[in-house]
A = this chain, B = another copy of it.
């Protein structure tokens, strides 16, 4: 069907996007691409479909999982914020086996990291593969192990951090989705959300700076208290 009539057939769309017809049909089945308009016996696609396919390609290049792409396309707000938060490291991607091999850690330890939920399936955080972030975390754990921190301690530490960060971030996400009680009026909340959406790109790095600061200062303060306590105790024989 010629362009002048305002619609393209699926093979026209495929040619324009350099995708195969099968891929486009797959996206339709998965609910990623909106249905074509029916004109008589033909299905017609238009510029909206083209734009959607380009957006899908862009998100796939960032290695989002299909579920994450669907969620991002469906959500009408907060998309930029989430994209900023989700953005993977371009250019590296690992399977679980590759992670294990590259990290030099043994499979049993990786199994523990997984059962303690320190390492989750990439789909859970909206990505199609592991990347340099996961490799770096596993290497840090491997390093702690080599330095003589025994497994029972590593497991306790993993639990403390996994549960602690989960609790904090659940509350933070509740604040942004309006489920957390605050003193804002509904109008003020709408304005806050609108500001947060427009500033999305810079929000996450700013929060990260605050959390890293707190982690450092709190560790210093509590370590100092622990030392003062120890110094104040009478020395025992084996010390």
Q: Given contacts A144-B206, A210-B141, A223-B81, is CB(A239)–CB(B71) below 8 Å?
A: no
Check A222 for interface membership: any CB of B closer than 8 A.
Answer: yes
Give residues of chain A (61-75) contacting chain B, Cβ–Cβ below 8 Å: 67-68, 70-72, 74-75
Q: Give Cα distance in the complex from A82 to B70, angstroms.
A: 47
Check A52 for interface membership: any CB of B closer than 8 A.
Answer: no
From A12-20, A38-46, A147-155, the one touching the partner chain is A147-155
What is the number of residues of chain A that contact chain B, defined by CB distance less than 8 Å? Answer: 94
Check A214 for interface membership: any CB of B closer than 8 A.
Answer: yes
Q: Give Cα distance in the complex from A120 to B213, angstroms.
A: 12
From A2-10, A21-29, A94-102, A225-233, the one touching the partner chain is A225-233
Please indicate the chain B residues that have their CB under 8 angstroms from the CB of A175 in the complex.
153, 156-157, 160
Check A54 for interface membership: any CB of B closer than 8 A.
Answer: no
Check A92 for interface membership: any CB of B closer than 8 A.
Answer: no
A63 CB to closest chain B CB (Å) equals 12
Q: Are A161 and B224 in contact, with the CB atoms below 8 A?
A: no
Q: Are A224 and B157 in contact, with the CB atoms below 8 A?
A: no
Q: Are B147 and A203 in contact, with the CB atoms below 8 A?
A: yes
Q: Are B209 and A148 in contact, with the CB atoms below 8 A?
A: no
Q: Are A215 and B220 in contact, with the CB atoms below 8 A?
A: no
Check A237 for interface membership: any CB of B closer than 8 A.
Answer: no
Contacting residue for A215 out of B118, B177, B208, B223, CB 8 A: B208
Please indicate the chain B residues that have their CB under 8 angstroms from the CB of A180 in the complex.
156
Check A199 for interface membership: any CB of B closer than 8 A.
Answer: yes
Q: Give Cα distance in the complex from A89 to B151, angstroms.
A: 33
Which residues in A have some Cβ–Cβ distance to B below 8 Å?
67-68, 70-72, 74-78, 81-82, 85-86, 118, 120, 124-127, 133-134, 136-137, 140-141, 143-144, 147-150, 152-153, 156-157, 160-162, 164-173, 175-177, 180, 182-184, 188, 191-192, 194-196, 198-199, 202-204, 206-228, 230-231, 235, 239
The 7 closest A-B pairs by CB, nearest first: A148-B195, A164-B168, A74-B231, A147-B199, A137-B213, A125-B220, A140-B209
Q: Could you show 18 A-B contacts with beta carbons less than 8 Å apart?
A: A72-B227, A74-B231, A77-B230, A140-B209, A147-B202, A147-B203, A148-B196, A149-B203, A150-B188, A157-B175, A160-B171, A161-B168, A165-B211, A165-B218, A166-B218, A169-B219, A173-B222, A208-B216
